[in-house]
């Protein structure tokens, strides 16, 4: 399989300078190009397209013709796929962006679209305002001591406690067996928990409920997981140092968390 890095290197140059013919992306496009807002995550878009055969594809996009952002589907995992559902972090409703599509197929063929633009739909004026949790999140300065797995170093457990909604912890296909263990450094009184589930653009990898085990002893929950558009803090009084969050019900796949919270006074 031709790597996407080779394609990126070839794109933007003519065939005489690269020795590689780059074909129109439309030759493998098998559906309309769809751009929509992510209903679970304000300020994030979703791009969807299907191809006529398995391909490694990416969308390169940005606010100017210089583009600058590169995204593809995590479902690929190094192999070609037909259905491409791609998250676009930072894409805002009502904004217009430039983009170009790139792809490669198993026979080594390279494909590229023209430079085009997309505009995400305007945000729903009647949408409920975001609710931020109150109280101190004790995971700031805490340590992730164990995870069931991580998809790669870029999807490490530390991403779930860094306070950054643009990073995520993703397991490597653990589904309902996913877990993360957090050490606060000393025993702390706790008033509630939060688990902001990550999810794929196709709806998989979404955690519905989770439990929390305190110091390998008391297990609390199950609690409902939330997402950035619907944050949910479960009230639960406890005192402990090491907290294990277990996924108990999910849609399967690369489950994980955008952020987890352990709240105290």
List the chain domain ranges: 4-119, 136-264
- 19-43 pLDDT, tens digit per residue, is 679 999 999 999 999 999 999 998 8
> Do 136-264 and 4-119 have the same topology in CATH?
no
User: For 147-170, how does the pLDDT look when each residue is reduced to its tens digit (9 = 90+)?
Assistant: 999 999 999 999 999 999 989 999
For domain 4-119, which CATH number applies: 3.10.20.30, 3.40.50.1820, 2.30.30.60, 2.60.40.10? 2.60.40.10
The model carries a pTM of 0.80
CATH code, residues 136-264: 2.60.120.260
Reported as type and span, the H/E element at residue 18 is: helix 15-18
How is 59-85 classified by DSSP, letter by letter? EEEESSTT--EEE--TT-TTS-EEEEE
**Residues lower than pLDDT 70 in the chain:** 1-19, 125-132
Q: Are strands 169-170 and 116-119 parallel, antiparallel or unpaired?
A: unpaired
Eight-state DSSP code of residue 226 = B
Please tell me the distance from the alpha carbon of residue 189 to that of residue 169, in angstroms, as a whole number: 25
């Amino acid at each position: 399989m031709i790597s996407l890095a080779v394609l990126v290197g070839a794109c933007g140059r003519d065939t005489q300078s690269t020795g590689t013919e780059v074909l129109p992306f439309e030759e493998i496009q098998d559906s309309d190009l769809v751009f929509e807002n992510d209903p679970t995550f304000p300020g994030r878009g979703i791009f969807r397209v299907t191809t006529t055969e398995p391909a490694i594809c990416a969308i390169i996009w940005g606010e100017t013709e210089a583009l600058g952002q590169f995204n593809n589907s995590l479902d690929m995992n190094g192999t070609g796929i037909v259905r491409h559902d791609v998250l676009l972090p930072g894409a805002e409703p009502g904004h217009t962006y430039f983009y170009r599509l790139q792809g490669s197929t198993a026979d080594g063929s390279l494909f590229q679209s023209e430079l085009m633009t997309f505009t995400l739909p305007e945000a729903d004026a009647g949408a409920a305002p975001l609710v931020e949790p109150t109280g101190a999140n004790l995971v700031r300065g805490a340590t992730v001591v164990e995870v069931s797995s991580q998809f790669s170093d870029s999807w490490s457990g530390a991403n779930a406690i860094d306070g950054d909604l643009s990073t995520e912890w993703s397991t490597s296909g653990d589904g309902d067996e996913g877990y993360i263990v957090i050490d606060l450094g000393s025993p702390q009184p706790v008033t509630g928990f939060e688990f902001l589930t990550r999810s794929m653009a196709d709806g998989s990898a979404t955690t519905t409920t989770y439990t929390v085990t305190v110091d390998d002893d008391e297990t609390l929950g199950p609690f409902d997981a939330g997402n950035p558009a619907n944050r949910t803090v479960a009230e639960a009084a406890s005192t402990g140092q090491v907290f294990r969050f277990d996924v108990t019900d999910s849609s399967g796949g690369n489950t994980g968390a955008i952020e987890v919270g352990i709240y105290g006074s």
